Structure 1
Amino acid sequence: MQEFFDIAPLVDWLSAAYQWLIEHVADPWNFLQLVLLALLYPLARFAARRLGPLLEARLASLTVRPGLAALFRALPSLLAPVVFLILLWFVIGIMQEMTWPSRSYLLRIVASLMTAWIVIRLGSTFIRNPVVAKTLTLGVWTLAALNITGLLGPAIEVMDALSFNVGGLRISLLTVVNGMASLALLLWGASALSRILEARINRLPDLTPSVQVLLGKLLKITLLTLAVVIALNSVGIDLTALAVFSGAIGVGIGFGLQKVVSNLISGVILLLDKSIKPGDVIELEDTFGWITSLGARYVSVVTRDGKEYLIPNEDLITHRVVNWSFSNDLVRLEIPFGVDYSCDPHEVRRVAREAAAKSPRVSDETSPVCHLVGFGDSSLDFLLRFWIKDPQAGVVNIKGEVLLAVWDAFKEQGIEIPYPHRKMILQEPIIVKTAPEAPNPLEASTS
């Protein structure tokens, strides 16, 4: 632990930085360059405010590819640094013509820093995650700035000196920074590679959707695990030392992560037995909708009203699930109805079948059928059955469409749908008494 508190390297680095400031700032020419920088930056900001609307209008009129849209959106925010850089190089050119090139040293350093910032900022626009883009931009520019100013070597020595020992392993600030950078870079590369390979797998026609999802998930887990292992080895961490913690991890999984592990295993089982796949229409308790994606812990089900339910994989294993499109897309629907006793039941069956068959969503592979199922109190009771191939497009809407077609056909053929009839039987006669009529006040006044 004594090495961690040894501030001698830090003092040396600060002394070097102070000496650099004395040599490059405490000079009349350097003071002049500082004044020029203080004047050029507000001038660049003023010019950017004037040119900004023109640039935005010009960019809005252009048609760009989706991959370059983020790059074009970042250009207005970089207008001031670009104008400042142009002014810097213009002033540097004038000073090099009028005096020694070394007397524009500070201006050239600032110009190099601005150039690095603009290039790195433009490159970061291709990263979709804004947090990762900002972190990467700041980290890479800091590294470039230290290299441009010649302080990269001393900074590395200071970070390496700030260290401590854990057993036989020496951990320094430099090791931590290198490890985090390597881990972030490898994880990003593994994620990008897994997305590319998963897209290739999804385009293979010989694989079912369940197998495609399973291979994609396994491939992603494998690549991410390899990225972590390689990053740990790159900083000199012996992975055999992690075996000490395997018992504690096992206990934690056994007690605290039971549901998580259960959902993970259930997800693998669902993918292997192919009972659930993206695009299936399922019904689980009060939830009815189609599956949009299979996750490691849950299944995403979107209902007709736009709600997205994240159902744990374990529920799909342990509960009764109705898969409307498991082995066959054909789904049979039933509509009960009744007609008046005066109607011909044979004609009713024919009209109902023809009306249902007119709907474009009703399958023509299996013709609709209509059965007389009972003699009701006030109607002949029928059951109309028909088949559809697209339950993901909705069930209630097609039932309503068929009911309207049947209603129109019954109206056209004069088939009536009766109202319930009720008879009231009185055991004893009821005497009804009428009240005497009240005299009319107008007649009384006339008489």
Structure 2
Amino acid sequence: MSDRLFSHMLGGLARDFGQPGIAWQVGVLLGTLTLAWVLARLLRRTLDLRRQTRYQTLRFGAESLNKAFFPLVGGVLVLIAQAITEQFMSTSLLDLALVPLFGIGLIYIVFFVARRVFGSDGETHVWLSLVEKLVSLAVWAGMVLTVLGIQDQVIAWMASVRFRIANTHITLLSLLTGILWVCVTMIVAMWLGSTFEDRLMRSRTLDANLKVVLARVGRALLILAAVLISLSLVGIDITVLGVFGGALGVGLGFGLQKIASNYVSGFIILIDRSLRLGDTINVGGLQGMVTQIRTRYTVVRGLDGNETLIPNEKLITDVVQNQSSYLTRGYAKAAVQVAYTSDVERAMALLVDATHGVDRVLQEPAPTPYLASFGADGINLELGFWIEDAATGTASVRSAVNRNIWRLFVEHGISIPYAQREVRIVGGASDILPQAVTMTGAAANEASPAGNAPPEPAAR
């Protein structure tokens, strides 16, 4: 057993140990690694500079890619040196150094791809740690087997382990190979989808909704292609998927029609651009801002800060009020009533003055006062004005205008009338009271200016 373990790289290194050629191998290895360190440092600086100037921030996972430069460049240089020096002397040390260099470089490359796939938003995904641990374990196990020279025996043993799944006889080697191909093709497809989505999102000529549609369709097609390719590589006949596709169609037609409707509605919303990210909408009594448009549902953040998931079908079939406009302004009114004895022209001028100095009230178009109607208790006036960024809310602006109206009316003696009510007891009053009593509210048109307390009703 010990002879078998030391029959490969370790055995060759043990034979060369103490020979004059081992010093030359150490010198060549140190020289190539030093040169690799310098080249990797220059390459890392160049790529970091390009990321900063082009993307403004370093991409998530760039650290893993930077760490992969040194072992990969070192492995390439050592391989070149090994091919040159093997004509003059033994290269057992260089052969042994190639295994950890390319192995560690492969680990960091997989880390970079995994971080791009599972951490495109800059945060660590739950699958990322699992993928990194499994890849590290598999690569280190492969390096140990390669150094010991028993990788062929282990592969032969896995090929000899047979078991049965349904009516198919498979080996442990074919099962592990199939799982490996499925994982590789899926990760590559997800990485390509993430890269494609990044390029779309950086485009300034495409609409935001169209970007989302293209990114999701592209990612779905890449994943579908990866599944078909991996099944073909494993040896599964993909023509059997036709039966599964028919059954899936029947299931969608009956049991999954709501889910299918939500998916179709989601693509309709994104394509026809009826809703956009950041729009303030009102649907089914819920008012809030659209924060996400998913394939199956739309996320709306309410005024209280809570997020609600609304099925996309509801946004297609129900009435949706979109309170966001490309004009970014809205029209508002303020209604007030003045006494008949008041100076109407002066009151209308004060209404316009009440909008001066109020934040977000536009002076162009200018606020306009109107004499709306003649009421039972006074003259009804109305003020119309435009508010900037109306989608962010108008209640505070209207409140500020109404407060200015009240202040200006008090300062200039414009009366806001009280309701007048007269109570009369008609017929048989002498049987109830010794004298008929009539109670009337004081005539507000003859009352004191607005802001004073109403006088007590007169009795006679």
TM-score scaled to structure 1, two decimals? 0.63
Change (3 A) 1:405 1:218: farther
Name which of 125, 128, 132 aligns with 2:127: 132
Relative to 1, partners in 2 of residues 1:343 and 1:137: Cα closer, same or farther, differing over 3 Å?
same
Correspondence for 2:228: 229
Residue 300 (structure 2) aligns with: 301
SS in 2 for 1:424: strand
Pairwise CA distance, 1:323: 1.7
- 1:200 counterpart residue number: 199
- SS of equivalent residue, structure 2 residue 371: strand
**Equivalent position SS for 1:356:** coil
Aligned match of 1:252: 251
Q: Percent identity?
A: 30
Contact 1:121 1:137 in 2 (8 A): no
| Rounded Cα–Cα distance in structure 2 between residues aligned with 1:68 and 1:317 | 37
Distance 2:109 2:208 in 1: 39
Q: Secondary structure at the match of 2:366?
A: coil
Q: Assess if the C-alpha contact under 8 Å between 1:357 and 1:367 holds in 2.
A: no
Work out whether 1:147 is the aligned partner of 2:146.
no
Q: How does 1:258-337 map to 2 (within 5 A)?
A: 258-325=257-324, 328-337=327-336
Is 2:445 the counterpart of 1:430? no
Q: Hey, what does 2:355 align to over in structure 1?
A: 356
**Shift of residue 179, structure 1, vs aligned partner:** 3.7
- Report the AA paired with residue 232 of structure 1: L
Give the C-alpha shift of residue 170 in structure 1.
Answer: 5.3
- Give CA-to-partner distance per residue, 1:386-442, whole Å, 9 cap, x none: 22342332232333333333334334433343443433323326359xxxxxxxxxx
Segments of 4+ in structure 1 off by > 6 A? 68-72, 119-122
Aligned match of 1:435: none
1:89 alignment counterpart = none
Unaligned runs of 5+ residues in structure 1 are: 1-15, 21-64, 73-111, 433-447
- Segments of structure 2 that go 5 or more residues without pairing to the other structure are 6-55, 64-99, 436-460
Question: Relative to 1, partners in 2 of residues 1:134 and 1:271: Cα closer, same or farther, differing over 3 Å?
Answer: closer
Compared CA separation, residues 255 and 235, structure 1 to 2 (3 A): same
Task: Report the alpha carbon displacement of residue 260 of structure 1 after superposing the two structures with TM.
Answer: 0.9
Aligned to 1:162: 162
How does the TM-score come out when normalised to structure 2? 0.61
The 3-state SS of whatever aligns with 1:309 is strand
CA distance in 1 between counterparts of 2:179 and 2:401 reads 63
Tell whether the 8 Å contact from 1:351 to 1:406 is kept in structure 2 after alignment: yes
Q: Tell me, in whole angstroms, the C-alpha distance in 1 between the residues paired with 2:154 and 2:433.
A: 111
1:318 offset after TM fit, Å? 0.9
1:261 is displaced (CA, Å) by 0.8
Q: Is the Cα contact below 8 Å between 1:304 and 1:394 reproduced in 2? A: no
Q: Which residue of 2 aligns with 1:187?
A: 186
Aligned residues: 335
Please tell me the residue identity of whatever aligns with 1:164.
R
Check conservation: 2:362, 2:386, Cα contact below 8 A. Answer: yes
Check whether the contact 1:282–1:290 (CA below 8 A) recurs between aligned residues.
yes
Q: Are residues 259 and 68 of structure 1, via their aligned partners in 2, closer, same or farther at CA, if it must alter by over 3 Å?
A: closer
Please give the root-mean-square deviation of Cα atoms over the aligned residues, in Å: 4.0
Give the aligned partner of residue 209 of structure 1.
Answer: 208
Distance across 2 between alignment mates of 1:122 and 1:219: 22
